[in-house]
Amino acid sequence: MKKSWSVIKSSYINALAFRSEIVLWLFLHVIPLVTIFAIWNSIYSNQNEIRGYSLTMILQYYFMTSLIDSFTSTHFESWRVKEIREGKIDFLLIRPLQYIQELFLRDIGGKALYLTLALPFFLVLFVIISTQSGLTFPNASIFQWSIFFGLLTVGYIVQFLAATIVVLSGFWLEYAEGGEHFKFVLLSLFGGWMIPIPMMPAWLQQIVNFLPLKYAFAKPIGIIQNTDKLAISDIVYIAAFVFFLWAIVQILWRKARYQYSSHGG
C-alpha cells in the first residue's frame, strides 16, 4: 500500500508541471459545449419536446457528458506506446510494482490533479450557463446518484483497460497509439456521447443497445434523468465485459514481456 501511495503521489506532483496546460484544455472544453447548447436552443425554438427530451433535459445531457468524460477518460496511450517503441521501460520491468499496476497508479495520480482543477471549473461553468439558459441540475435521488457514480467508476475501469490494450499492442504494432483515436470514436458514437440514444436512427439504436459502451455515457445519464433504470441483466453484462477486457490485458501482458527488447540502456 505504501509503495502504491508513493507512486500516486509522485504522479500527482509530476502532473503539477502541466497544470497550465490542463487549465487551457478545460477552457477549450467550453467552446464545443457552448456551441452545442446554442445549436439545441435553436432546434427547440419552435418546439417543447423532441423524442421525449425537453430543452432542459438535452442541456443536462450534454453538460453531464462533459463531466463524465472528465472522470472516466484516459489519455496516456500515446506517450506510453512511444516509451515501448524507444525501449525506455527497462526500469519499469524490474520494479516491485507490475507494469500494469504502475500504469494504473500513475494515471490515478494524474487524474486526481485533473479533477482537482476540473470540478471547481465545471461548477462555475454550470452556474454561468444556468443563468443564460434552461440548464438545471438533474433531480435524482441519492440511490440514483449512487448508481451514477458507480457506473462512472466502471466507466473509468473500462477506459483504462481499453487504453492498456492499446499500450500493450505497442509491443507488436509500430503506431499502436492510433488505437486511442479509435477508442474515442467508438465511445463517442456507441457510448451516447455524441447524441442521446432515443434521438439516434432506429438501426443505430439497435447496435448501441446491443453493445456495452452505452454504460459509459447514455446509461448513467439516463438513470439520473429518470429515463432509464439499471437491471440485474445490466450488472451481469457490465461484469462480463470488464472481465473480458481484463482477460485480454492479462494475455497480452504475458506475451508482451517476452516480446520486448532494448539496446544500449
Q: How high is the pLDDT of residue 259?
A: 66
Mean pLDDT of the chain: 87
Answer whether residue 31 shows pLDDT above 90.
no
Percent of the chain with pLDDT over 70: 94
Positive/negative CA dihedral, 136, 45, 67, 113: negative
Domain extents in the chain: 2-259
Give 49's strand partners. 54
Query: Which is higher by pLDDT, 137 or 161?
Result: 161
Q: Would the pLDDT of 182 be above 70?
A: yes
CA 209 – CA 236 distance, rounded (Å):
15
d(CA 203, CA 206): 5
With a cut of 90, say whether residue 160 has pLDDT above it. Answer: yes
Average pLDDT for 42-67: 90
| Phi and psi at residue 108, to the nearest 5° | -60, -45
Given a cut of 70, is residue 46 above it in pLDDT? yes
pLDDT surpassing 80 at residue 213 = yes
| Mean predicted confidence (pLDDT) in 163-174 | 88
**Helices (H), ranges, the chain:** 2-15, 19-43, 55-72, 77-85, 90-93, 99-132, 142-169, 179-190, 202-210, 218-224, 232-259
Phi-psi category of residue 140: left, alpha or beta, with phi > 0 → left and psi -120 to 50 → alpha: beta
Asked whether residue 33 carries a pLDDT value surpassing 80, the answer given is yes
- For 113-152, write each residue's pLDDT tens digit: 888 888 898 898 888 888 877 788 888 999 999 999 999 9
Higher pLDDT, residue 29 or 107: 107
SS3 53: strand
Q: What is the pLDDT of residue 255?
A: 86
Q: So what's the pLDDT on residue 219?
A: 96
**Eight-state DSSP code of residue 48:** S
Q: Give me 205's grid cell.
A: 439504436
Q: Give the whole-angstrom CA distance, residue 79 versus residue 75.
A: 9
147 within 8 A of 223, measured Cβ to Cβ? yes
230: cell is 439499471
